[in-house]
Chain A
Amino acid sequence: MSAKLAISRPGEGAAGKTGTWRTFRPVMDQEKCNKCGLCRLYCPDAAISVDLEIDLDYCKGCGICAEECPKKAIKMLREED
């Protein structure tokens, strides 16, 4: 193919480690979590794995997971400098 097209392929971190943009960090309470997986579905950065591990290298700390969690199992804590 000779045409140059602007296509972005799925991959990790096209914008670098966006975890550095974070002001608040999501912390999951495993006791409260019922593994429903809504946090993973809602995460706009696909930073939550199938096993519901949060990849802090890429999590921007938007807090959508905490907002959506029906069990209130995710808290947003201020990043320490």
Chain B
Amino acid sequence: MFEIRLHSRGGQGGVTAAKLIAYAAFLDGKYATATPLYGAERRGAPVVSFIRIDDEPIRIYSQIRNPDLVIVLDESIMQLVDVLHGIKPDGEVLINSQKGTEVEGHRTYPVDLTGISLALDLVLAGNPILNTPLIGAISKLGVISQASAKQVIAETFRDERNVEAALRAYEELKI
């Protein structure tokens, strides 16, 4: 089972991103679940979502304690929350970062999702759309296939620029 913990802020689209990643895994023929961790919904507050991907039906509903991959959509959260808590020894980290932030002891993939989105003017209600470039970046890591990433974006978003955002993130992320 591959477990992803996604840290974001309320209103950034983290919950939707988790659903889209799980949906792409579903299209890859895997079993997948996406779970938001709800409190009182608050824009701007740190929030967490969980994604599990497996070849077998997933029977676990509790939170992910030992993620294989941690995604950080807003790096300022790292000052408030220990995003590495419980991460597997060989666990990896993907950070939405303009300045190439790295974490110690874990393979880090910094990618400027916000920059990609802003460059394409992909802004919704004042916030840059991070879901679509994130899906592109995740497909580069092989968590989901490129074909499924494309299909998810095509099915979910009408605006062609979302595909472009995903492609740019795919290219910008260095493996």
Direct contact of A and B (CB under 8 A): yes
How many chain B residues touch the partner (CB < 8 A)?
13
CB distance A22 to B76 under 8 Å? no
Distance from A26 Cβ to chain B, minimum over Cβ atoms (Å): 14
A interface bracket (residues with beta carbon within 8 Å of B)? 10 to 19
The contact of B44 among A16, A21, A81, by CB within 8 Å, is A21
CB distance B76 to A23 under 8 Å? no
Of residues 69 through 97 on chain B, the ones whose CB sits less than 8 Å from some CB of chain A are: 76, 79-80
CB distance A21 to B76 under 8 Å? no
Of residues 1 through 24 on chain A, the ones whose CB sits less than 8 Å from some CB of chain B are: 15-16, 18, 20-23
CB distance B127 to A21 under 8 Å? no
The contact of A22 among B44, B79, B98, B127, by CB within 8 Å, is B44
What 16 new A-B contacts, CB under 8 Å, besides A16-B80, A20-B80, A23-B44? A15-B45, A18-B44, A18-B45, A20-B44, A20-B76, A20-B79, A21-B9, A21-B10, A21-B42, A21-B43, A21-B44, A23-B11, A23-B126, A60-B44, A81-B76, A81-B98
